[in-house]
Amino acid sequence: MFLDVHGGDLNGFFLIKGESAKLDALLSTKEWITHINRAAFHLEGSGVVRGVSGNEVMERMALWTSAIPA
């Protein structure tokens, strides 16, 4: 996915979908860590961010809103 120029620092991203345990396994491999380290050397502002989708979004929002001070 590549985004049009929009004035922010997000210039594109890759979406990798999968089960949480399988993603955990991927992120702990030597190959993944090497890939991310290489990206950090060649790309400004690169990073990895975990997220959720589907029904988990509502669960996360409930946790988030319960943490807001009254």
| pLDDT band at residue 52 using 50, 70 and 90 as cut-offs | confident
Calculate the CA 4 to chain-centre distance.
20
DSSP string, 24-39: HHHHTSHHHHHHHHHH
pLDDT at 33: 97
- Buried-exposed string 19-36: b where 16+ CB fall within 10 A, e elsewhere: eeeeeeeeeeeeeeeeee
Per-residue pLDDT tens for 5-46? 677 777 778 899 999 999 999 999 999 999 999 999 999 888
- Residue 52, SS3? coil
